[in-house]
Amino acid sequence: MGSAGDEFTPLSQLEYGMDKCKVRVRVSRLWESFNPKDDTLFGLDCLLIDDQGKTMQARVEPGDIERFEDLLVEGKVYALSDFHVDSQRDYYMSCSNEWTMYIRRQTVVTEIEGDIDSIPLHSFEFVKFKDLRYRCDDNSLLTDVLGHIVYVGELEEVSKKSRIIEICNARIRDLRGRALSVTLFGDVASGFTEDMLEKGQDASVVAAFAGMSV
């Protein structure tokens, strides 16, 4: 548990080579990044948020996932030190920060409890529906959208590269009445379908879809 005397560096001040400082951050999202074409695992990625609401993507390399997968929990707040800061990757980034944090074998992860309400639970960089055409086939920065759910299809099984995966097709609408089709895959699809079934057909639901490809 972090002490009151700890001095933390804001994410906005991190730059290349700053490996000896300490940050206080919330793990807002946590996911395994992989190539869906051949299931090649890239690493365990997470979106970090600090007290100022600034964000940075962090990665645990495949060889270190077993060491950190139980230490990092989505929604919890940690003090992190002895990490490495490098330039952001050219693809599949969840925020527009120019730097990426690499959580390495020697990185110290300490959970912080108590006064953590100042750190937001979520952060999004929403794109207007009318601007999505400029993101088509550009996966350098993944896309966040917000909309009123107007249709949810049934969970389906499809064959993809000699394996069966579940998908769910949905449709959302923005305040101007523009409609957008959304396709979810795998566990995200099944979890979303289950949540919507629990809410019922008459429920009015507004949802944020984060980290999407256009």
In the predicted structure, residue 34 carries a pLDDT above the cut 80:
no
Least confident of 70-74, 90-94, 116-120, 131-135: 90-94
Specify whether domain 129-212 bears CATH 3.20.20.120.
Answer: no
Query: Is residue 36 pLDDT above 90, yes or no?
Result: no
Query: Percentage of residues in the chain with pLDDT exceeding 90?
Result: 77
Q: What confidence tens digit (pLDDT) does each residue in 194-212 have?
A: 999 999 888 899 999 999 9
Question: The whole model's pTM is what?
Answer: 0.87
pLDDT value at position 77? 97
Mean pLDDT value of segment 152-177? 90
Q: Report the distance separating Cα 132 and Cα 121, nearest Å.
A: 26
Does 11-111 match 129-212 in CATH topology? yes
Domain residue extents for the chain: 11-111, 129-212
| pLDDT at residue 2 greater than cutoff 50 | no
- Give the mean model confidence (pLDDT) for residues 8-28: 93
> Cα(68)–Cα(76) distance, rounded to whole angstroms?
14
Do 206 and 148 touch, CB atoms closer than 8 A?
Answer: yes
How many angstroms separate the CA atoms of 167 and 189, rounded? 5
Note the pLDDT of residue 3: 41
Q: What's the mean per-residue pLDDT of the chain?
A: 91
Residue 33's pLDDT is 83
CATH superfamily of 11-111: Nucleic acid-binding proteins (2.40.50.140)
pLDDT digits (tens, 9 = 90+) for 75-108: 999 999 999 999 988 888 999 999 999 999 999 9
